[in-house]
Amino acid sequence: MPKVKIPRKSTLVDMTAMCDVAFLLLTFFMLTTKFKADDAVVVDIPASISDIKIPETDIMTISIDKTGAVFFGVDGKFNREKLLNSIAERYKIQFTPEEIHEFSLISSFGVPIAELKNYLDMSQFERTNLKQKGIPCDSVKNELGDWVILGRIANPNYRIAISADKVVKYPVVKNVMNTLQEKNVNRFNLITTLRAKPDIK
């Protein structure tokens, strides 16, 4: 008895729906992606075995570069504007709306308050190439303490993180910690890279 041959039909898959979904997803990610702003200083942080993650929002960062210069930054455009207005009131400085807008776009900086107005009047290219001296945090002139306190008033939910270069001497980091403790800020994180935990047998 001869076998019945079933005629083969070509399989045609309509890819229109899949292409639509792919482009919709691509458009969604392009429109919702938040780009990380350039930091004022690159810090080569030391390694540790701590695996506690720093939050991505509501973070106040104090960075120390290899020369010992201190940099300060907070997240949130509105919080930065509020913070600069508080600094202007404290130090009796008038900032223009353009300067306030420029400050709201800067992720971190390292200039004394007396030079902040000139710093904000620079172009982005000039600011990137400027060798910033750092924010004073010594016993004579402790501007870092004012930035921290007024930053926490601008956003009480801020968590403080210290990011110090691995070649910075300990007294510089200790000086920053003392500044925080003088302002009754006793909880802060030290940012490090993750190192493998040693095998203990």
Q: What is the pLDDT of residues 84-101, one digit of tens each?
A: 999 999 999 999 999 999
Instruction: Answer whether residue 35 shows pLDDT above 80.
Output: no
Dist CA 85 CA 88 (whole Å) = 5
Instruction: Answer whether residue 146 shows pLDDT above 80.
Output: yes
pLDDT for 197 equals 59
Confidence of residue 23 (pLDDT cuts 50, 70, 90): confident
The HSE-up count of residue 150 (CA atoms within 13 Å, CB side) is: 19
pLDDT for 78 equals 92
Instruction: Answer whether residue 201 shows pLDDT above 60.
Output: no
Dist CA 68 CA 170 (whole Å) = 10
Instruction: Answer whether residue 2 shows pLDDT above 80.
Output: no
Q: What is the pLDDT of residues 148-198, one digit of tens each?
A: 999 999 989 999 988 888 888 888 889 999 999 988 888 888 877 766 555
Comparing CA positions, the residue from 157, 69, 71 lying closest to residue 108 is 71
Helices (H), the chain: 16-32, 77-91, 97-104, 116-121, 124-129, 143-154, 170-182
Comparing CA positions, the residue from 93, 146, 157 lying closest to residue 119 is 93
Dist CA 119 CA 126 (whole Å) = 9
Mean pLDDT of 20-27: 86
Task: Measure the CA dihedral 178/183/187/191, to 10°.
Answer: -50
pLDDT for 141 equals 82
pLDDT for 168 equals 87
Comparing CA positions, the residue from 124, 128, 125 lying closest to residue 110 is 128
Comparing CA positions, the residue from 172, 167, 180, 152 lying closest to residue 70 is 172
Instruction: Answer whether residue 133 shows pLDDT above 60.
Output: yes
pTM (2 d.p.) = 0.75
pLDDT for 79 equals 92
pLDDT for 196 equals 56
pLDDT for 42 equals 60
